Structure 1
């Protein structure tokens, strides 16, 4: 198996800690985001996924690419690796776990073991940009 899962993710940092979510039934934390629907660009996919998962609206004017990470796929039996394009953006609204999201947590570098591999790579990416101490 050598298939790569292509996803988008929102990197939100507050107080030096990155937002992560846990889907119901999953053991590790992930970043808000997911797969693009056919024809969706990055902005459309990230903003839709975040709206569906956290019930907040992202701010298009502050939407920026942070980078792309690649890591071993976790809990995705059809895929060997994940390619995750990471973006930052302001938001409007209060976080409310919705749909498949059962929990949201702000994590720091000491919490790496709670994160799926691609989310660990995204935490490192955020740190390399000075967002996480």
Structure 2
């Protein structure tokens, strides 16, 4: 079994979650990405969010939310994505950048638009009464 190690930033507003869609893709994803060699969770997540959404995460507010695993979208059966999720405050104005086409605020009613691992995260957030 192969595991794709990814990090995600959970940003919730009015019981909706910030989600992004990459250029040429069909599904929305919670923003974040893969770590580069030698990066900590904090370093990788801050770098990815700066690249994708042009905002700075406030490292002093970074809080672990949970880790979720599911079959990776558009990969062979048995390739699992492991998503380690954090919340954090940010500075700056959200703006799609790099490979991100645009972003939207989604609720649990939008689960048909997201990846398998994101569905687990949405379910968890709904159980915690953080997502509509």
State whether TM-score is above 0.5: yes
- The equivalent residue for 1:34 is 33
Q: Cα RMSD between the aligned structures? A: 1.5
- The equivalent residue for 1:24 is 23
* CA–CA distance in structure 2, aligned partners of residues 119 and 131 of structure 1: 15
- The equivalent residue for 1:110 is 109
Equivalent residues of 2:66, 2:86 under 8 A apart = yes
Equivalent residues of 2:71, 2:77 under 8 A apart = no
Classify the secondary structure of the residue corresponding to 2:83.
strand
Question: Do the aligned partners of residues 79 and 37 (structure 1) sit closer, same or farther apart at CA in structure 2, a change above 3 Å counting?
Answer: farther
Deviation at 1:129?
A: 3.3
Deviation at 1:75?
A: 2.4
- The equivalent residue for 1:63 is 62
Equivalent residues of 1:3, 1:78 under 8 A apart = no
TM-score normalised by L of structure 2: 0.94
Residues 6-25 of structure 1: matches in 2 within 5 Å? 6-25=5-24
Deviation at 1:103?
A: 1.2
TM-score normalised by L of structure 1: 0.93
* CA–CA distance in structure 2, aligned partners of residues 57 and 78 of structure 1: 35
* CA–CA distance in structure 2, aligned partners of residues 112 and 55 of structure 1: 26
Unpaired runs of at least 5, structure 2: none
Structure 1 ranges of 4+ moved more than 6 A: none
Number of aligned residues: 132
Residues 95-106 of structure 1: matches in 2 within 5 Å? 95-106=94-105
- The equivalent residue for 1:75 is 74
Which digits, 9 at most, give the CA deviation of each residue in 1:78-122, with x for residues without a partner? 971100000000011111100000010110010001111111112
